[in-house]
Amino acid sequence: MPLEVIALVLLGALLHASWNALVKSGSEKSLDAAMIALGAGVVALSFLPFLPLPHPDAWPFILVSAVFQFAYFQLVAAAYRAGDIGLVYPLMRGVAPVLVAATSGALIGETLTTGALAGVLTISTGVLTLAFEARKGGKRAILLALANAVVIASYTYVDGIGARLALNPISYTLWMALLPPVLLFAWAFSKRGVAPVLFHVRHQWWRGLIGGAGSIGSYGLALWAMTKAPVATVAALRETSILFAIVISIVFLKERVSVFRIAAACLIALGALMLKLA
Going from N- to C-terminal start, the domains of the chain cover 3-277
CA geometry: angle 10, 30, 68, nearest 5 deg: 60
177-191 pLDDT, tens digit each: 999 999 999 999 999
Segment 197-211, tens digit of pLDDT: 999 989 888 888 899
CA 206/CA 212 separation, integer angstroms: 10
3-class DSSP state of 27: coil
Pair 13, 241: CB distance under 8 Å:
yes
d(CA 212, CA 181): 11
| Neighbouring C-beta atoms of residue 113, cutoff 10 Å | 11
Residues 108, 102: contact at Cβ < 8 Å?
Answer: no
228 phi, psi to nearest 5 deg = -115, -15
pLDDT tens profile 148-170: 999 999 998 999 899 999 999 88
| pTM, entire model | 0.82
Kindly indicate the confidence band of residue 229, based on its pLDDT and cuts at 50, 70 and 90.
Answer: confident
Positive or negative, the CA dihedral 183, 189, 195, 197 is negative
pLDDT tens digit string along 90-100?
778 778 877 88
Q: What contacts 25, CB < 8 A, 6 or more positions away? A: 253
What is the rounded distance in angstroms from the CA atom of residue 97 to the CA atom of residue 7?
A: 19
Cα–Cα distance, 40 to 61 (Å, whole number): 18
Q: What are the backbone dihedrals phi and psi of residue 141, each rounded to the nearest 5 degrees, phi first? A: -65, -40
